[in-house]
Amino acid sequence: ASERSEKPTAQRLRKARREGKVAQSAEVPSAMMVAALLIVLAVAGPILYRWVVSELRSGLSCSAEARDAEDILTLLNAKAARLLAMLLPFLLAGLGVSAFGGLLVGGWAFAPKSVNPNLSRISPVAGLKNLVSLGSLVRLLTSLAKLALILIIVYLYLRDRMEGCLALRWASSKQILLAVVQLVFGLMLRIGGALLAVGVADAFFQRWKFRRDLRMTRQEVKEETKEHEVSPQVRSRIRSLQMSMSRKRMLKDVPEADLVVVNPTHVAVALKYDAGAMDAPHVVAKGADFMAEKIREIADANGVPIIRRPELARTLHDTVDVGQAVPEALFVAVAELLAMIYRLRRKRSNPMGGNPPNES
């Protein structure tokens, strides 16, 4: 029953991507880089050939005029800098194609927590386990097999052209350079084709392995289905219960309010101000229609003053959420009401005074 026989669900795949886990292949980027370099050589090869010949001639003529080793070193540095400047765009293009090849297999996935410090990554024990794991052995065998394949290709390619290479002993420098370029290009073409085939095979294997590692048990699929495929009726019931609990918590705070502002029956807003704990009065409850009536009933039953201020009640109801402070623009209006309530309380504490009347 615990066998992982089920395909990963879309939710499981999304979770893995959020954690930075995607199918990855080390063979596809290298194959793409070799393919990009081959394309560059095929397109820009003649230009590079003429440039190299020109630089060699210029270097030989300048070296003949060099007076000492320092002049020769300066000349070599200048030629190396020009060569690097010439090849840099092609190298950057190769790196870009290599990065794109990595995205082709599993796509882009960045998990912020993957860059957080993690002591297990530098743990010698964890490093030793990774070193002797089955995955490391498979990667080692793959690298050895790829190296053997490349050596076989090089051997077969050079064996068939050995006589032509030996004949270059009597060729001119220009002919030798051209032959070397052709030889290297042909060799890279064959190696690139082999690496591309290996990369395609590895890409399919890594995608298969990634999905196999994410396979789920039937129980996991059932639990995930219950969690993420709840019926609309159940979701509506949950929202209704949440709103009901929120209203009950809000109505419990009405008896502790200092006053309730109404309009006159459609809107009610309960306000409270504690000078020692608050910078400004807070809305502790609010509601319209039925909820406004409930707030009025609770306030009236607990002796909380109810004051009719239609415009202020509407503004507070529409702009201030429960638990938030009254905005600065309404400070004066609310302060006047609180001052009036405090005066009424002082009168009530006076034996000659009476109970504060409601203005509702």
Same domain, 54 and 108: yes
Encode the chain (360 residues) as per-residue pLDDT tens digits: 457 788 888 888 888 777 777 777 778 888 888 887 777 777 777 777 677 777 767 766 665 565 666 776 777 778 778 778 877 877 787 778 777 776 766 666 555 555 555 444 554 555 555 556 666 777 788 888 889 999 999 999 988 888 888 887 787 877 887 888 788 888 888 888 888 888 888 888 888 888 888 888 888 888 777 766 666 666 677 777 877 787 888 888 889 888 999 987 789 999 998 888 888 889 999 988 888 999 999 988 998 899 999 899 999 998 888 888 888 888 888 888 888 888 887 877 665 544 555 555
Q: How do residues 86-95 score in pLDDT, each as one tens digit?
A: 778 777 877 7
Same domain, 130 and 264: no
230 lies in some domain:
no
Same domain, 111 and 215: yes
Same domain, 108 and 195: yes
Q: What is the CATH number of the domain that holds 317?
A: 3.40.1690.10
244 lies in some domain:
no
DSSP state of 325: B
Same domain, 204 and 66: yes
Res 220: pLDDT: 81
> Which are the contacts of 205, defined by CB distance < 8 A and separation ≥ 6?
none
Rounded to the nearest angstrom, the gap between the alpha carbon of residue 237 and the centroid of all alpha carbons in its chain is 34
Query: What Å distances lie between residue 183 and 28, 92, 162, 168, 354, CA to CA?
Result: 25, 24, 11, 12, 111
Same domain, 58 and 182: yes
77 lies in some domain:
yes
Res 155: pLDDT: 93
- φ, ψ for residue 12, nearest 5 deg: -65, -40
Is there a contact between 271 and 326 (Cβ–Cβ < 8 Å)? Answer: yes
Same domain, 105 and 183: yes
Same domain, 175 and 264: no
> Which are the contacts of 26, defined by CB distance < 8 A and separation ≥ 6?
139, 202
234 lies in some domain:
no
Same domain, 67 and 174: yes
Q: At what angle do helices 290-301 and 232-252 cross, to 10 degrees?
A: 30
Task: Identify each DSSP E strand in 179-258 by its residue range.
Answer: none
236 lies in some domain:
no
Res 120: pLDDT: 47
Same domain, 18 and 148: yes
User: What is the domain extent for residue 330?
Assistant: 249-349
Specify the residue for token string 């030793």: 128
Q: How many domains does the chain have?
A: 2
5 lies in some domain:
no
CA distance 312 to 6: 60
For 18, other C-beta atoms within 10 Å of its C-beta total: 13
Same domain, 294 and 195: no
285 lies in some domain:
yes
Same domain, 217 and 267: no
Q: How do residues 197-250 score in pLDDT, each as one tens digit?
A: 888 888 888 888 888 888 888 888 887 777 666 666 666 777 778 777 878 888
